[in-house]
Amino acid sequence: MTTIAVLGAGKIGEALLSGLLAGGRTPDELLFTERYAERSAELTKRYGVHAVDVPTAAARADVLVIAVKPQDIEPVLTELAPVIGADRLVVSLCAGLPTSLFERMLPEGIPVVRVMPNTPMVVGEAMSAISAGKHAKPEHLSIVEDLLGVVGKVVRVPESQQDAVTALSGSGPAYFFYLVEAMIDAGILLGLPRAVAEKLIIQSAVGAAQMLAQTGEHPVTLREAVTSPAGTTIMAIRELERHGVRAALLAAIEAARDRSVELGKAHES
């Protein structure tokens, strides 16, 4: 039985714990550490998973998943370094932080796998990209693939691509939520009751996502099928182009990539 400890059970840490439980893991295979006692109590009540301190997590868990904010990484690694055994696997979910930071702060030879997941983990639909650090072997990548395969899809990427991945799929759900929020507002503008607008847009988003996932058709083909000559859709597309929505997305995702690079640089020695 592989025991997994999540160090820092905030939004993504909780998403992982709940996704693993929904995927068939039992609470006794999972542990977490948390800075705030109130948060620990809340998670234990909700999931039956126990909060421990870092030495206990290092002693009992085979896989230590680090899910604190990048800005909070150093105290966690300082606490972990003296207590971690050589047979443990460290998995970082932290945006921007290179595996070299973990390798530098932890004892020599500890395998580290960098992961960029996303929050659809809570419904078993995460997209996670994984990269091996210098001491991580193919079997370590396989362990992480098996672990995250329970909560969604997993791809392997070179670590040099992780900042781009972070901007695309790590932050990606937020862009879709933003779009949905704006489209619901448009429904309100057109006089629909909020509940109706929400239902229309959420189901349209689910349907469109399922079509993308299941048909294998290119998004352009799917969009063209909705866009009738001199119809309604092309009038909306013209406005989206006029307002530079495509260019805004390119610039937005580039800015997210740049921020990921910057978060990593803040911890360079």
Ligand X SMILES: NC(=O)C1=CN([C@@H]2O[C@H](COP(=O)(O)OP(=O)(O)OC[C@H]3O[C@@H](n4cnc5c(N)ncnc54)[C@H](O)[C@@H]3O)[C@@H](O)[C@H]2O)C=CC1
Annotated binding site for NADP(+): 67-70
Q: Are 61 and 4 in contact (CB under 8 A)?
A: yes
Shortest reach from residue 96's CB to ligand X, in Å: 7
Shortest reach from residue 104's CB to ligand A1CAB, in Å: 22
Binding to ligand X by CB under 6 A, coded x per residue (else -) over 126-165, reads ----------------------------------------
* Binding residue (CB under 6 A) for ligand A1CAB from 111, 152, 170, 264: 170
Binding to ligand A1CAB by CB under 6 A, coded x per residue (else -) over 86-105, reads ---------x----------
Which of 131, 123, 60 is CA-nearest to residue 102? 131
68 counts as binding ligand X under rule CB under 6 A: yes
- 7 is written with which tokens? 């160090």
Residue 80 CB-density burial (10 A; 0-12 exposed, 13-18 middle, 19+ buried): buried
Shortest reach from residue 231's CB to ligand X, in Å: 37
* Binding residue (CB under 6 A) for ligand X from 4, 5, 6, 12: 12
- List, as own/partner pairs, every contact residues 108-114 make where C-beta atoms lie below 8 angstroms and the sequence separation is at least 24, other chains included: 109/135, 110/84, 110/86, 110/135, 111/135, 111/136, 111/137, 111/140, 112/136, 113/89, 113/140, 113/141, 113/144, 114/159, 114/162
166 counts as binding ligand A1CAB under rule CB under 6 A: yes
Residue whose CB is less far from ligand X, 3 or 227? 3
Q: How far apart are CA 73 and CA 261, in angstroms?
A: 16
Q: Quick one: which segment of 61-69, 104-112, 129-137, 224-232 binds ligand X (CB under 6 A)?
A: 61-69
